[in-house]
Structure 1
């Protein structure tokens, strides 16, 4: 036999007043609705909860015991909520990819921690970041998106051109900008085949009927830059990627910019809103 919390609360108020009019007013319900609720409680318990003697209502023994139980339940719930209020808030969870952490979020994270905010960091690609924000395991995500989805809030953080990086002795090193056709027959340093950046580059080269080959596959922007510096070949990277003076960065004019977004759920809390503001 299940007792509903709202029914217990209603009976506790009635038991305190012993009057349907005043109890209904306190509960903001009609008297007939309160009568029905208490009658259903009696039916569920199989016992009367009150009797009428003259103009006064008196609780039966079962009614007294149920009122005590209801009040005790309310007190326990209030105590529990007070303990929750006393607990420090859990650290907010930020999820982003390695590129975002390396080149975009370092300074904001340092400022956030310097202000005494607790922050738990997780890493993941765009798909994992969106999934974590959707299921609530991450409060805020930062990731590059081609088309922001509609079921989460996506606010543009920064955008960067896609750039060709080469050694200074490469044939294209003196150019102020390049187009994909300038990479015809090049052996490129590229991410693994399943990475979105690699897939977009392959589609773009295919659309223009351009031939190219893989010099080496490398996981992560820093390793791509390292191989370029060694002379393995040029690479196309996000413009946010930092390089040294030994490597030239040349914008690729016919590739779309890379857009990084701050991703949150629509029902974000004030703490999440504040974290989002500090990251912007």
Structure 2
């Protein structure tokens, strides 16, 4: 393959497309038309001889080769930015990018983020996303580190365990199950539970466990995110099973649920990421506070 057939401009455009996976938004950021962006990406795929994305239902999804190209394009941009900064005699100001979900930001990473931003506000950029988007961000080079709960550890990324928590039942202090030291799945028979929306990983695992235990239950309300789920329990809508890192607000008690696996948060990164001292520095900052929080939980 002639490297001249893969211009840097096409790689830069593909990196933007890979971040949005939406031609309208990517073209707007690049300030070009959608047809022009389509042409750039089509020609790039032709030059490389591999499809770079495909459609899955209503979503566009990068292929494995597309993830590799996006990762290379971003690394190329970073190296060029570093060179130009050094050439101009200034310190490179690129931030470390961290991708994580709501639960990790609220209950696991807050102390680290506050400390890092207090030192230098340009050192850290945050992406809020679900675990699927987090893995995609790390694979494509959009994020240097990602934190989340993983059902299966990725074999193409390095995964480091941060903290493990039991699953607990939130109930009002006057609830019949509040008197128990621990709760079993059969104890939930007949309960109307506050749960995440369908197809969310926590909801899927919970339904599977209750079905295996032959527990008859129903949905009180579906809610997105631990804060809203907790608020519905406070309002008396129904009990909820949450990750043990979520603190119980006044009026609620948390009871460990036997028969449910513990929940483990991992930080993931590209195997080559540790060659960057900025990444290793942030990773070292994340791990001690997370481990301490797990012990307190």
Question: Following the alignment from structure 2 to structure 1, what is the Cα–Cα distance between the partners of residues 180 and 88?
Answer: 62
1:276 to 2:280 alignment: no
SS of match in other structure, 1:210: coil
1:124 to 122, 129, 138: 129
Question: Following the alignment from structure 1 to structure 2, what is the Cα–Cα distance between the partners of residues 80 and 217?
Answer: 51
Report the Cα offset of residue 89 of structure 1.
Answer: 3.0
Q: CA RMSD in A?
A: 2.0
2:257 to 232, 252, 255: 252
CA gap of 1:113–1:82, structure 2 versus 1, over 3 A, is closer
SS of match in other structure, 1:173: helix
User: How does the TM-score come out when normalised to structure 1?
Assistant: 0.70
Larger Rg computed on CA atoms: 1
SS of match in other structure, 1:189: strand
Which aligned pairs between 1:124-273 and structure 2 lie closer than 5 A? 124-268=129-273, 269-273=276-280
SS of match in other structure, 2:178: coil
Report the Cα offset of residue 146 of structure 1.
Answer: 2.1
CA gap of 1:104–1:80, structure 2 versus 1, over 3 A, is closer
Question: Following the alignment from structure 1 to structure 2, what is the Cα–Cα distance between the partners of residues 148 and 213?
Answer: 31
CA gap of 1:88–1:190, structure 2 versus 1, over 3 A, is same
Report the Cα offset of residue 111 of structure 1.
Answer: 1.2
Question: Following the alignment from structure 1 to structure 2, what is the Cα–Cα distance between the partners of residues 80 and 219?
Answer: 44
Question: Following the alignment from structure 2 to structure 1, what is the Cα–Cα distance between the partners of residues 222 and 174?
Answer: 22
SS of match in other structure, 1:120: strand
1:91 to 2:95 alignment: yes
Report the Cα offset of residue 85 of structure 1.
Answer: 6.5
Which aligned pairs between 1:35-46 and structure 2 lie closer than 5 A? none
Task: Check whether the contact 2:85–2:91 (CA below 8 A) recurs between aligned residues.
Answer: no
Give CA deviations for 1:24-68 in whole Å, capped at 9, x if unaligned.
xxxxxxxxxxxxxxxxxxxxxxxxxxxxxxxxxxxxxxxxxxxxx
Find the counterpart in structure 1 of residue 7 from structure 2.
none
Q: Any stretches of 5+ residues in structure 1 without a counterpart? A: 5-78
Question: Following the alignment from structure 2 to structure 1, what is the Cα–Cα distance between the partners of residues 252 and 191?
Answer: 17
SS of match in other structure, 1:86: coil
Task: Check whether the contact 1:156–1:260 (CA below 8 A) recurs between aligned residues.
Answer: yes
Number of residue pairs matched by the alignment: 205
User: How does the TM-score come out when normalised to structure 2?
Assistant: 0.66
SS of match in other structure, 1:156: strand
Question: Following the alignment from structure 1 to structure 2, what is the Cα–Cα distance between the partners of residues 213 and 202?
Answer: 10
